[in-house]
Amino acid sequence: MDYTPAAVVPLGTLAEKNDIGKPWRYEEDGLTVTRTSPWSPPGCHPVGCGLKLYVNDEGRLVRVEGDENHPVTQGRLCPRCLALKDYVYNPSRVLHPLRRDPKDRGKSDRWERISWDEAFELIKSEYERIVGTWGAESIVAFCGTGREGGTMSLYPTMVFGTPNMCYTQSGYACYTPRLAAVVYMTGCTYPEWDNAGALPGRWDDERYQLTEVLILWGKQPLYSNPDGFFGHSLIDAMRRGTRIISIDPRVNWLATRADLHLPLRAGTDTALGMAMLNIIIEEDLYDHDFVDYWCYGFDQLRERVAEMPPEKAAEICGLPAEKIYAAARMYATAKPAAIMWGLAVDQKTDGMQNGHVIIDLQAITGNLDRPGGQLLPGAGAGHNELGFGYAESIGDELMQKMIGLKEYPAYCNMILNAHADLMLEALETGEPYPLKMGFYMGNNLMSCTSQEPKRWHDAIVKSLEFCIGVDCFITPSIEASCDVFLPLATVAEREGTVYTHYAPCTVTAGFMHKAITVGEAYYSDMELAYELGKRLHPERFSQWANSHELVEHFRLGVQEHGEYFDKVSQCVVAQIPIDYYKYEKGLLRPDGQLGFATPTGRVELWASAFHTFGDDPLPYYLEPEFGPVNSPELMEKYPFILTTGARTPAFFHSEHRQIAYLRELHPDPIVEINPAVAKRLGITDGQWVRIYNMVGECVQKAQVSPIVDEHTIHAEHAWWFPEEDGSEPNLYGTFRSNINNLLPNGHFGKLGFGAPNKCLICNIEPATENYDTDMQNIWDTFGELVER
């Protein structure tokens, strides 16, 4: 597989253009100030917000402020960045390598401190034993949102040489169903709303045109800062006149400021999108020139969406038909208009089809790759960072052993990951071959990124003979199953790069600068991959004299022996030059021809790739498997629609729960219940409640609010309690309030993508009488720990 660098741009020349305001390091009031553009850890999406780290003469971080020099974030920070000092110096952070005997897994008091050399030697010994006996395919690398995007792929590919990198959420129902739809329909990667972030003049740049209408489809960017997008850019646009359409079952802050809010029944988005296409086409509101010149399959699309008249969609979605008409007309008549699509698009069985209709909407209205519309990445901004070193380290023969490749090639080939659901089955059954070694990288799957987490727990503990955890803290997943722990450097203790949107559709390129050293947490993921790789496969890593050179090759697309990174990183953040209407200039295709990088050279409304993989090439709606239409008998037992996972500014997924200031902002797992429902069930605001369905159950604290309607329950995800006992069976309470207990595996779409995490069913009732007392005792213990 060929490697296309994430951003082959003249960053050296950009360093001078972006050298605004203060230099990257300077002195102020007796403190050394280091400007940096961080990513993780602690966790966040790759926004690269501008930070200023203030360090005293003892080498201690004493203050964190926003960097006003950053062209997009302009000094604005979320609570997590402001609490960075408390993360760095948290008393429960582990600052040196640890090991324990595999028979002592799940026992938090059995860890013993070892040196880095001892840790590396132990890993090398176990790696050689397992590969020699079972083969490299017996290793699985569990990945999460990522700490440097494609960097994570270095571990499974070049370091361990396994084809089985695995994101454990069923159907890879996070980002990837959307991404797959875009790749297979347009040949591009992620189309983001153009917020003028890459333009030197920002909103006032002469090339920019303010977005008239922006649809937020299952997205709350103020809290999530999704996939590298700085959420408050939306507020900047609204102040300038951008109008909002919100599509969300919940009434969030932005929905209350929207011109239109469509609180549809969770999981019915594809029907809504098909109806909007129907209206735009039948009322002749589409862009004829773009459709005629740059779209393929328009007539077939017209026929398909005619099957979903707005009145039918209104009945399915639980919306007034008038609102569907109003939303379609408002979007189609605005020039330019854009759609920001969120995780809710992915988290349904027809998640890819939901993505399909959204791309159709963007295309037929002529909003692709225009100023203020959907920004498209060029031909040089590939999504294949994951392929770095793949051909040399894996090869075709081993690649064919990837779990799920035969059954779901559209999934496995595109993201170079084993199929999550089939990986779980392989761990449980040992088929098609045994899995014997594991590696956690940016993943706390038992608390966050797996459905039926106890099932994953049991399979991993039973199957894996040796397991490694890499993090800043001992998580429930590491406590349950790991034999070696390797501590990571935080963003204040490391160098590195951050490209918005994981490198595809890059708006800014940021650089992390090391300001302090804490304990023996010496390495970032990139540096740790280099150190491990030198020991396990020196023949693969001998081309780089140090990790700087690896960064330059992998992230910057150059090889200049450690000097290029030092030079360009001093700009701290660089706006990446962009061009619009690239399809008219031969800038979207690797061959330089006009059009899109698809078999037809056009946006494929009739997707030939889907047809090749055996799926319907046109969008279609699938009624949620669990709900009033397909399972009315279950609805008698579980009468509420369950949606999950809305973000909070205090945490990033399962991270930050041990940070006292952030837990003070958000101390408990919250489930939202409509006031009429709460009254009927005898539930009071702040009361602990039991949420349950045919898959499992958990307990969370009720928030009685009209944010949700009388048919809907919303529950938070990724909760665990670092203040509690970490040993089995408690594991920091990770299964007690874990809404993933209620989410099933195995309910994905035809090509392997999607999962119904945001459109299930459940019931709810008050928890036992003594539960509030038990939880208060836990909080008293946490308070004592904070004081100490």
What would the mean pLDDT of 379-392 be, rounded to a whole number? 68
Q: Distances from the Cα of 683 to the Cαs of 250, 649, 678, 775, 776, in angstroms?
A: 20, 26, 5, 17, 18
Query: 122 vs 155, 237, 442, CA distance in Å?
Result: 17, 54, 21
pLDDT for the residue 14: 46
Which amino acid, 49?
A: C
Banded pLDDT at 442 (limits 50, 70, 90) = confident
For residue 179, tell me if it sits in a domain: no
- Cis-peptide into 729, omega within 30 deg: yes
CA dihedral 632, 634, 635, 640 (to 10 degrees): -140
Q: Do 185 and 598 form a contact (C-beta atoms < 8 A)?
A: yes
- Give the residue ranges of DSSP H helices in 230-297: 233-240, 269-282, 288-294
Residue 729 Rama label (left phi>0; alpha psi -120 to 50; beta): alpha
Beta strands 508-512 and 573-575 are antiparallel
| Helix (H) and strand (E) counts in the chain | 29, 28
8 Å CB contact between 446 and 731: yes
Same domain membership, residue 200 and residue 51: no
* pLDDT in the model for residue 183: 93
pLDDT digits (tens, 9 = 90+) for 213-249: 999 999 999 999 888 899 999 999 999 999 999 999 9
Pick from 315, 374, 457: which is nearest to 189 by CA? 374
Of the CA atoms within 13 Å of residue 681, those in its CB half-sphere come to 24
Measured distance CA(229)–CA(45) in Å, rounded: 8
Q: Count of domains in the chain?
A: 4
Are 297 and 604 in contact by the 8 Å Cβ rule? The answer is yes
Q: Is residue 626 part of a domain?
A: no
Please report the pLDDT score of residue 384 as a whole number. 44
pLDDT at residue 5 is higher than 50: no
Residue 144 token pair: 């999460």
pLDDT at 781: 52
Instruction: Let me know: does 762 contact 640? Beta carbons within 8 Å.
Output: yes
Residues with Cβ within 8 Å of 157's Cβ and at least 6 positions away in sequence, in order, are 165, 388, 389, 390, 393, 394
The CB-side HSE value for 405 (13 A sphere, CA atoms) comes to: 18
pLDDT value for 308: 98
Q: Is residue 327 part of a domain?
A: yes
Q: What is the CA radius of gyration of the chain?
A: 25
Residue from 361, 374, 301, 363 nearest 330 by CA: 361
Is the pLDDT score of 114 beyond 50? yes
**Which of 43-52, 75-84, 122-131 comes out lowest in average pLDDT?**
43-52
Helix (H) or strand (E) holding 680: helix 675-681
- Contact in structure between 445 and 453 (CB atoms under 8 Å): yes
Give the pLDDT confidence of 137-178 residue by residue, as tens digits.
999 999 987 777 666 778 888 999 999 999 999 999 998 999
Q: What whole-number distance in Å separates Cα of residue 369 and Cα of residue 375?
A: 5
CB 142 within 8 A of CB 427: no
Cβ-Cβ contacts under 8 Å for 776 (sequence gap 6 or more)? none
Same domain, 230 and 365: yes
Could you give the residue ranges of the DSSP H alpha helices within 135-187? 176-186
Residues 131 and 24 in one domain: no
Do 409 and 502 belong together in one domain? no
Nearest to 583 by CA among 145, 157, 197, 290: 290
Per-residue pLDDT for 524 more than 80? yes
Is the peptide bond prior to 46 cis by the omega test (within 30 degrees of 0)? Answer: no
The pLDDT value recorded for residue 556 is 75
- The domain that holds 735 is classified in CATH as 2.40.40.20
Query: Based on the domain organization, do 713 and 678 belong to the same domain?
Result: yes
Mean residue pLDDT across the chain:
92
Residue 558 — pLDDT band, cuts 50, 70, 90?
Answer: confident
The reported pLDDT for the residue numbered 382 is 52
Residue 713 lies in a domain: yes
Please, what is the Cα angle at 578 between 575 and 581, to 5 degrees?
160
CATH code for the domain in which residue 418 is found: 3.40.50.740
pLDDT tens, residue by residue, 594-630: 999 999 999 999 999 999 999 999 999 999 999 999 9
d(CA 555, CA 564): 12
648-670 pLDDT, tens per residue?
999 999 999 999 999 999 999 99
Say if residues 66 and 490 touch (Cβ distance below 8 Å). Answer: no
CATH number, domain of 36, equals: 3.30.200
User: Could you tell me the two tokens for 170?
Assistant: 């069923």
DSSP H stretches of helix in 698-768: none
- Residue type for 237, please? A
Supply the range of the domain harboring residue 248: 191-376+593-612
Residue type, 190: Y
Q: Can you say whether the dihedral through the CA atoms of 624, 628, 632, 637 is positive or negative?
A: positive
**Tokens linked to 274:** 């098909």
pLDDT score of 523: 94
Confidence tier at 772 by pLDDT (50, 70, 90): low
Backbone torsions φ then ψ of 186, nearest 5 degrees? -125, -15
Give φ, ψ of 217 to 5 degrees. Answer: -100, 100
- Location of structure tokens 């090869």: 395
Residue 551 lies in a domain: no
- 3-class secondary structure for 374-404? EECCCCCCCCHHHHCCHHHHCHHHHHCCCCC
What is the bridge-based pairing of β-strands 484-487 and 295-296?
A: unpaired
Residue 755 gets the label, from left (phi > 0), alpha (psi -120 to 50) or beta, of beta
Backbone angles phi, psi at 192, to 5 degrees: -100, 155
List the structure tokens of 47. Answer: 């926004």
CA nearest to 740, candidates 400, 477, 505, 406: 477
502: alpha, beta or left? (left if phi > 0; alpha if psi -120 to 50): left
Is residue 410 assigned to a domain? yes
Question: Are 149 and 387 within 8 A, CB to CB?
Answer: no
- In DSSP terms, 764 is beta-bridged to 691
Q: Are residues 261 and 348 in the same domain?
A: yes
Give, as one character, the DSSP assignment of residue 442.
S
Answer yes or no: is 669 within a domain.
yes
| Contact by Cβ (8 Å): 310, 324 | yes
β-strand 112-113 against 98-99: which pairing, if any? Answer: antiparallel
CB of 267 closer than 8 Å to CB of 624: yes
Q: Are residues 386 and 371 in the same domain?
A: no
Residue tagged 């920002």 (tokens): 202
CA distance 671 to 678: 11
pLDDT for the residue numbered 303: 98
Residue 583 lies in a domain: no
Torsion of CA 115, 548, 198, 336, to 10 degrees: -70
Q: Contact, 241 vs 269, CB < 8 A?
A: no
SS3 488: coil
The alpha helices in 489-593, defined as continuous H runs, are: 525-536, 538-541, 547-556, 564-568
First to last CA, the chain: 53
Residue 779 has pLDDT above 60, yes or no: no
Please state which of the ranges 287-291, 391-395, 621-625 shows the lowest mean pLDDT: 391-395
Alpha-helical runs (H) found in 438-524: 453-463, 476-481
pLDDT, average across residues 60-72: 96
Provide mean pLDDT across the span 339-363: 96
Residue pair 141/166 in contact by the 8 Å Cβ criterion:
yes
SS3 per residue for 611-672: HHCCCCCCCCCCCCCCCCCCCHHHHHHCCEEEEECCCCCCCCCCCCCCCHHHHHHCCCCEEE
Q: What's the rounded Cα separation, in Å, for the pair 785 and 788?
A: 5
Beta pairing class for 603-604 and 670-673: unpaired
Q: Is the omega angle on the peptide bond into residue 432 within 30 degrees of 0, that is, cis?
A: yes
In this structure, what CATH number is given to the domain that contains residue 324? 3.40.228.10
Q: What average pLDDT does range 417-423 have in this prediction?
A: 97
Same domain for 119 and 51, yes or no, is no
Six-digit token pair at 214? 């922006």
My answer on whether 302 and 213 are in the same domain is: yes
Instruction: State the pLDDT at residue 13.
Output: 43
Q: Which of 488, 510, 532 is the C-terminal boundary of a domain?
A: 488
> Do 226 and 367 belong together in one domain?
yes
346 within 8 A of 173, measured Cβ to Cβ: yes
Joined together, the tokens standing for residue 560 give: 């200049």
Average pLDDT over residues 344-362: 96
In this model, does residue 107 exceed pLDDT 50? Answer: yes
H/E run at residue 441? strand 437-441
Question: Are residues 205 and 345 both part of a single domain?
Answer: yes
116, 79: one domain: no
- Give 11-21 pLDDT, tens digit per residue: 444 444 444 56
Residue listed under structure tokens 């665990």: 720
The H or E element spanning position 31 is: strand 31-36
More confident of the two residues 565 and 68: 68
